[in-house]
Amino acid sequence: MKTLSKKELRNTIRSLRRGLPTDEHRILSQRILENIKTFGILGDAKVILAFCPFDGEPDISPMFDEILKSGKDLVLPKVVGNSLKLCRVHSTETLSAGSFCILEPAECEEVDPEKIELAFIPGVAFDKRGCRLGMGKGYYDRILGRVKGLKVGVAFSFQVLEKIPCDPWDQRVDAVLTEEGIFYRR
Ligand code: ADP
Ligand code: MG
């Protein structure tokens, strides 16, 4: 079987993901949120990196208020130039209205990657080894090496493949969570 390049895989899976009907997207995202509860992923983690849905990624933002209410730190990534900055968010109201879940441009109380105790990582595709395919800019590859806590990829099950191209600089996740459940990398 021909091995798809990263670029081909990205295009194929991104268009599948964007083609997910709104209802289906909501239902699958809800199942992912339920699985976060069922598997007790938040555990004792005090500083949690999450993400806002972009390009059809699963929407885990409904748990943001719960994280904040339970006294944990919520951290969201923000693209600044060529890198991802990790910003602590004190209220979901600081996420701009209209395009919900986008951090206001000026705002970033930066958090060191070393401080993250649990990281939810979006991706275009993941495989059984924990390899991750991103949007092609290597943003997460440049910070994940410094994150000490559990790294959990979050995706819909159609984004999980047996094996995807994995370059030496590609940072792996420890586990992948989908609407079907969770698996830990081989
Ligand atoms: P993605 O992870 O978004 O799928 P790639 O893994 O293809 O994207 O990486 C995109 C680019 O980012 C690569 O050309 C690579 O050279 C660069 N890159 C990735 N990780 C690092 C790193 N730790 N330091 C410097 N450049 C990096
Ligand atoms: Mg990569």
Of the chain, the percentage scoring pLDDT greater than 70 comes to 93
Q: How many domains does the chain have?
A: 1
Q: Ligand 1 in contact with 146 (CB < 6 A)?
A: no
- 153-to-78, 146, 157 alpha-carbon distances in Å: 18, 16, 11
> Residue 2 has what pLDDT?
67
* Strand partners of residue 121: 153
Angle at 155 between CA 39 and CA 57, to 5 degrees: 125
Whether 165 maps to a domain, the answer reads yes
Tokens of 33: 């949120």
Listed residue (136, 5, 123) closest to 82, CA to CA: 136
Whether 1 maps to a domain, the answer reads no
Tokens of 107: 């705002």
> Residue 96 has what pLDDT?
60
Whether 108 maps to a domain, the answer reads yes
Among protein residues, the one with the nearest Cα to ligand 1's atom 11 is 138
82 vs 142: which has the higher pLDDT? 142
Q: Assign 105 a pLDDT band (cuts: 50, 70, 90).
A: low
> Residue 47 has what pLDDT?
98
User: From the CA of 110, how far away is ligand 2's center (Å)?
Assistant: 23
Whether 133 maps to a domain, the answer reads yes
State the sign of the Cα–Cα–Cα–Cα dihedral 37, 43, 55, 98.
positive
Q: What is the mean pLDDT of residues 145-153?
A: 97
The residue range of the domain holding 121 is 6-184
CATH number of the domain that residue 118 is part of: 3.40.50.10420
Q: Ligand 1 in contact with 138 (CB < 6 A)?
A: yes
